[in-house]
Amino acid sequence: MHDGSRDLASRTTLRLGGPAGRLVTATVTEEIPALVRGADSLLVLAGGSNVVVADAGFPGTVLLLRNRGIAVARDGDGVTLTVAAGEPWDDVVARTVEEGWSGIECLSGIPGSAGATPIQNVGAYGQEVAETITSVRVYDRERDRVEVYEPADCGFGYRTSVFKHSDRWIVVDLTLRLSVDRLSAPIRYPELARALGVAVGDRAPLDEVRAAVWKLRAGKGMVLDPEDPDTYSVGSFFTNPVLPVADFAALATAGAPAWPNPDGTVKTSAAWLIERAGFPKGYGRDGVAISAKHTLALTNRGTGSTAALLELAREIRAGVAARFGVTLVPEPVLVNCAL
């Protein structure tokens, strides 16, 4: 259906961005193809938590995904969930914890919709959604048909997939395979293990893991709060750099954190680089700033603009490159604008 207001700022967690050229809303999965068929350019919005929309807005069609539903199939010690793309993601996680289904508990408190999770390969506190996805159903605009993609077809990588930076596919639902177990998957993230009082590799009750993750995220301004401008963000604005070992050597000497990968590369901390390049928490101007709670979040203080936010991001990126020789990569999708 058509939506009367074309405003996009109120539909994103940054609360920034101009109007849509055309705005339509899908409440039923089956109506999605008809709503977008023939659109020259398309932006899909659900939770609006991982997009930066230009001040000029988006001149094409914006599809608001509001389809809902979770289908559950249990067998033995496993459970399969098919989740509509418009379902709020944290509601899905809350349901799994309540039911005693293990596998996505560390992804608690993440804003946005279920359909966005495979696009971004959402991850936090040692879990990635790709680990539990068994299929993603998409509407392929190029072929004008709904198709099922297996994980191998999705191109999952660190905070990315084949669906990111493309308007060819619209995720309509996804299927997750979880364990029927009141204990979490083994805890991989040291900060979370410390918060739970367990060792890395240990397991903990699902509700305790969810509560601990929620508390950690809230302390970093990563849980939406209408009263707190530190949460007017896209979460982490930059991804943590993944570098060849040789390129990381100088950073290792400087004391940069290191998370070795099986392929021989090393992931390091973007927040560490940003802070040591001279950009502390709270740094900013013109109505935008680094969050006072978390260095990776660039926030709209309520009076900002997308132009100001991108200028701050450029300054940070240039400063880190000059100081450490590392070029930071933005994590959100930039709509009708560029860094």
Q: Which residues are catalytic?
A: 159, 236, 331
Helices marked H in 109-167 = 116-120
Residue 77 tokens read as: 């010690």
Task: Give the CA distances from residue 226 to residues 10, 52, 92, 216, 231, in Å, rounded to whole numbers and listed in that order.
Answer: 12, 18, 22, 18, 8
Checking DSSP bridges between strand 42-45 and strand 58-65, what pairing results, if any? parallel
The rounded distance, in Å, linking the Cα atoms of 38 and 223 is: 37
- Answer whether 167's CB lies under 8 Å from 43's CB: yes
The rounded distance, in Å, linking the Cα atoms of 31 and 34 is: 6
Task: Give the CA distances from residue 139 to residues 51, 85, 163, 170, 332, in Å, rounded to whole numbers and listed in that order.
Answer: 20, 12, 11, 5, 22
Q: Dihedral sign for Cα 335, 151, 95, 71, please.
A: positive
One-letter amino acid identity for 125? Y
CA atoms within 13 A on the CB side of 321: 9
